[in-house]
Amino acid sequence: RGEIIASERAFPNPFPDYEAAAAVPAEEPPCARPAFISAAPPWELLVQFKFMASFGSQIIHNFTRRIQSKIKDLLQQMEEGLKTADPHDCSAYTGWTGIALLYLQLYRVTCDQNYLLRSLDYVKRTLRNLNGRRVTFLCGDAGPLAVGAVVYHKLKSDGESQECITKLLQLQRTIVCRDSDLPDELLFGRAGYLYALLYVNTEMGPGAVCESAIKEVVDAIIESGKTLSKEERKAERCPLLYQWHRKQYVGAAHGMAGIYYMLMQPAAKVDQETLTEMVKPSIDYMRHKRFRSGNYPSSLSNETDRLVHWCHGAPGVIHTLMQAYKVFKEEKYLRDAVECSDVIWQRGLLRKGYGICHGTAGNGYSFLSLYRLTQDKKYLYRACKVGPSVQAAPEPPRAGTVLSFLAGDSPDPTVSPVQPCPWRPVPWRSPLYQGLRDGHPSEVPGPVRMPAFMALGRPLLKPQFPHW
């Protein structure tokens, strides 16, 4: 039954794993012949990129130009699709703030001021249409306000930037209210608002949002988890328990994995005692709920080993396990993360679409994160294969090409073929761009991180990338 479910939801993985692929000698190093640049698909270039780098800058620049051309095509496709987009959707998840984030990332990589100004256009659009219904970074007003603060800051418009931060902090009354029915999860709850605060400080520097504001939100999340745990009589086994719509979800989007991940962020400044006595045993409780396959249930009450998405299943939990390994220095977390990676490699080439939340691109981030943590080339190899795996599928979904994969296009009939969901189409955050970064780290910005979830590391350095 499990194999039937897996085949219904994912394409069979047609590729050998890293060890098997590495054992087959190449007849001729592709990078030894410049014709390879114009003949091969981008993903083949990616797999060989490190080897290519040693053959001089001409090949690297040719490779870069191919990415530039692809991204130009993607932007044209996206802008055309946006002509029919919902004018009232200002979210980072599916709306205009996601487009602002894309252009902000383009500016970060290229230093082209035109992209920053384009981001500002979308920021202004979103700030005129705040509705006050939701408060998170991905799906609420906190997203437009946080991105607006950062864009204005980079434009040296300090007054407008501070106004955005002031409005962002005004949302906090709803967040910390003990009588509020607000959930704690990432998409619609307190953890999603916490991300917005941490994002502003990451981009603008510590102190842009005061520590006391962050602490209030963290305290509210912890108290909520303690309360539910006591109500469910699980305080000893799981000191911090959370639910959404009366279900105790496990995954990154609506569940415990996403909340624990945010609480373990260094910028959240959760004290070590709380991390050790409250967060750690709660993560261990979650770990013990995993299936024998290594995958995780969508909720504690769900016994079906079915979903392998970032939002539900191993692709979201893996990030929590890696963060736990960094914080607590215990090998068991890394072992479980590796097991998650194997599940994703086997069952993560999803038929559902190419997006981050519940698509193949989101699953690819797990490999990138594990590679960054372990420096094991196996995981970079797996990330490199995410793109061609979609092309090689015997029954590809609509728009099943590298172009739509990078754009984050979805076979969901509610999404236009030329209108990818804006949270997802950041080509710089694809395995293609990560491979380029890893192949020549001195010439591009820092590590690629999943937008609106993982992008809380050190701010990106000023790029030395060839000017576009």
Residue positions forming the annotated binding site for Zn(2+) = 311, 357-358
Q: Would you state the structure tokens that stand for residue 428, as one six-digit string?
A: 């710089």
Q: How many CB atoms lie within 10 A of CB 141?
A: 27
Question: 220's torsion region: left (phi>0), alpha (psi -120 to 50) or beta?
Answer: alpha
Among residues 288, 262, 181, the alpha carbon closest in space to that of 224 is found at 181
Q: Where are the beta strands (DSSP E) in 13-140?
A: none
The span from the CA of 258 to the CA of 274, in Å, is: 17
Residues ≥6 apart with Cβ < 8 Å to 161: 148, 149, 150, 152, 153, 204
Q: Would you state the structure tokens that stand for residue 406, as one six-digit string?
A: 């990078």
Specify whether the CB–CB gap between 244 and 311 falls below 8 A.
no
Q: How many CB atoms lie within 10 A of CB 8?
A: 9
The span from the CA of 348 to the CA of 439, in Å, is: 25
Question: Dihedral sign, CA of 245, 285, 289, 328?
Answer: positive
The span from the CA of 363 to the CA of 169, in Å, is: 33
Cα dist. 257→191, 399, 439 in Å?
Answer: 11, 32, 31
70, burial (CB in 10 Å: exposed 0-12, middle 13-18, buried 19+): middle
Specify whether the CB–CB gap between 136 and 184 falls below 8 A.
no
Name the residue type at position 134: R
Residues ≥6 apart with Cβ < 8 Å to 334: 321, 322, 325, 373, 374
**DSSP 8-class letter at 241:** -
**DSSP 8-class letter at 302:** -
375, burial (CB in 10 Å: exposed 0-12, middle 13-18, buried 19+): exposed
Ordered alpha helix ranges (H), 305-397: 314-328, 331-347, 360-374, 377-384, 386-392
